[in-house]
Structure formats: C-alpha cells, structure tokens
Amino acid sequence: MKAKIFRALAAFLLSAFALSAAYALQVDQTRIMSKRDIGTQQMHYYRLTINFNDQNIGAAQMFGALGQNSYIYAVDCHVTTAFNASTTNVITFGTTKASANEIVASGISGNPLATGILHLTSAAGLGLAATAAGDVTLWAKYAQTGTAATTGAITCVIQYVPNNDL
C-alpha cells in the first residue's frame, strides 16, 4: 500500500517537474504588474526564461514593471539550448506590447542563435531612456523568420536600480 502511494507521488512530482519548463513565461497577461523595490540602495533584477514555443511569445508577453526613472544597468542573456531555425531568431525587450523593443531594440539575434553568454552593453534602453516618462510595464518578444524553430531556450537578466535618490 505504501509502495503504491510512494510510486504515485513520485510519478506526480516527476510529471510536475517536466511540465514546469514548458511554462517558463506563462504570466497572466491580464494582471497589473507591480514594480519591485527592495527599499535599499542595491541592484534589482528581473530574470526570465524564453522558450521557442512559449505561448503567444511572437506577440510579446508581459513579465514585469519598472518605476519612473529606474536606471537600467545591463541586459545579459545565456542561450541554454540553441534555436535551430534555419533563418533569423530575434528576441527583444521593451515597454510596449506593440513593439516590445524600447530596451533591446535591435534584438538578440542569430542564425541560428547558438548557445553561450550575451552581454547587451549597448542596448537602446540602458540608463534612464526607457523609464524617464513614467512607470513602465516590461515585455519580451521572440520573432523568427523562415523555418520555424523546434528547439531553443534563453535565460535573460535585466539589472536595474529604482529611483531611490535621497
């Protein structure tokens, strides 16, 4: 009896773990994102994983929010699984769903997008550029041209400092 319960629990946990990767960027797109502020003078960040098959990622997906005059310090990414589409794969970050490219305008792109670390030190929205006008919602978008990818995953970190001038 105990063995049956243990096997059923083990099977449930294994299936839950296997499904968790498939829902990497599954955020309720109707909820209002609250901006993060730890309340101390230190680096804040958003970390997200984008898979080639995330639901509606081609139309941009909301994943966070920043307060007015937050200073975006850096955008770094690590491609953990190469995107195997035979043409261009582009990942952008922005403050509007329509374009989703105000922070990383030219995109993280490649043909194919190979594994490794990417430091986006010249992103368009670094500094105060993307947050000067007011609070913003953060959007991620994956676009591809040509043959559709059947593999691909990238983890990105957007580092920022909220406006906490004394």
The string of DSSP codes covering 20-32 is HGGGTT---TTSP
Phi-psi region of 160 (alpha: psi -120 to 50; beta: other; left: phi over 0): beta
pLDDT in tens, the chain (166 residues): 777 675 766 666 555 544 445 445 666 777 777 777 777 788 999 999 999 899 899 999 999 999 999 999 999 999 999 988 767 888 889 999 999 999 988 777 766 678 899 887 667 889 999 999 999 999 999 988 888 888 999 999 999 999 988 5
The answer to whether 144 and 87 are in contact (CB under 8 A) is yes
pLDDT value for 14: 56
CA-derived radius of gyration, the chain: 18
Amino acid at 135: D
pTM exceeding 0.95: no
Helices (H), 47-157: none
82: CB partners within 8 A, 6+ apart: 112, 113, 114, 115, 151, 152
Instruction: Give the chain's domains with CATH numbers.
Output: 40-161 (2.60.120)
